[in-house]
Amino acid sequence: MSPRNRRILFSLALLIWSGVILYFYASGRITKYLAPDFRPIALCGGLGLAVLGLFNLLTAGQHADCGHDHGDGDAHDHESGDMHPLTAFALMVVPVLLSVAWTKDKYSEAAISRKTMTVDEVKSPFMASMLGPITREDLEKNHRKTQDGYYEMSLMELFFSSGDAELQKALGGMKVQTEGRWAEEKADNDAGTRKRLYRMFITCCAADSRAIPIVLEFGKEPPEFPDGGWVRVSGTITFPKGKAGVQPVLEVEQSLAAEEPYEESFMRN
């Protein structure tokens, strides 16, 4: 293959990569994969690839001095390699296009099962020192109260409260409402009265995500909701000490199906 055709081929590969990134950004699908702080970086990367690809495409037929002398019979070819250009192009483009076509923009059940789904005790002296003294009055003042008398709290707040004894004291026995995805509770559930509620926590991207769960205690046979479906639950938050240490357990009084939020994943903020 001629150097000009190789340059055109690899320029098209750059433009396809750029198009994929810009498509995910413009369509909003990127919200499922990147935290907000990292999305502008992806946009800049996509635009940069577009500029580079267009420049290489427009200059593919130009000849340039390689900058040094060659002996007799030297073809002056600095672009050929051991791999055929069409093979290299396919390796760069086909996996990306197949991934875009096959992805469902959500975690499969198999992926969720591989994530951390244990409710281990969370020890976070940094959080305690950062937050300072917290009272029940502070919590009630800073959280909206529903018409049924429950304070709306994020699942993350409840999960990380297991690492702060002072926060547990303020929260313990409080009527709260939260929401997340429905899952089976496989640990310490001999009576079959427990379920699990979780959401995904992302630091920068979907690859580093983990499941943030709390335990739901119904005291009887739990209601039926689809696995992975969104559920809003209301009840009394408690902090019993289990095999893994202190863990947040919500004694559920009300539960109903909920709509999936626009941007599912928890972010750093």
What is the model's pLDDT at position 177? 93
Residue 241, phi then psi, degrees to nearest 5: -95, 115
- Secondary structure of residue 101 in the 3-state scheme: helix
> Does residue 211 surpass a pLDDT of 60?
yes
CATH topology of domain 110-257: OB fold (Dihydrolipoamide Acetyltransferase, E2P) (2.40.50)
Element (H, E) at 129: helix 125-131
For the ranges 69-73, 152-156, 248-252, the lowest mean pLDDT is seen at 69-73
d(CA 185, CA 216): 8
- Of residues 4 and 231, more confidence is placed in 231
User: Quick one: pLDDT band at residue 268, thresholds 50, 70, 90?
Assistant: very low
Query: Domain boundaries in the chain?
Result: 3-62+84-103, 110-257
pLDDT over threshold 50, residue 70: yes
Which long-range contacts (C-beta less than 8 Å, at least 24 apart) are formed by 32-41?
A: 32/105, 32/106, 32/206, 32/264, 32/265, 33/105, 33/205, 33/206, 34/204, 34/205, 34/206, 35/202, 35/203, 35/204, 35/205, 35/265, 35/267, 35/268, 36/267, 36/269, 37/204, 37/268, 38/204, 38/205
Q: Reduced to 3 states, what is the DSSP secondary structure of residue 15?
A: helix
Residue closest to 92 by CA, chosen among 19, 17, 18, 25? 17
Token code pair at residue 8 = 């055109």
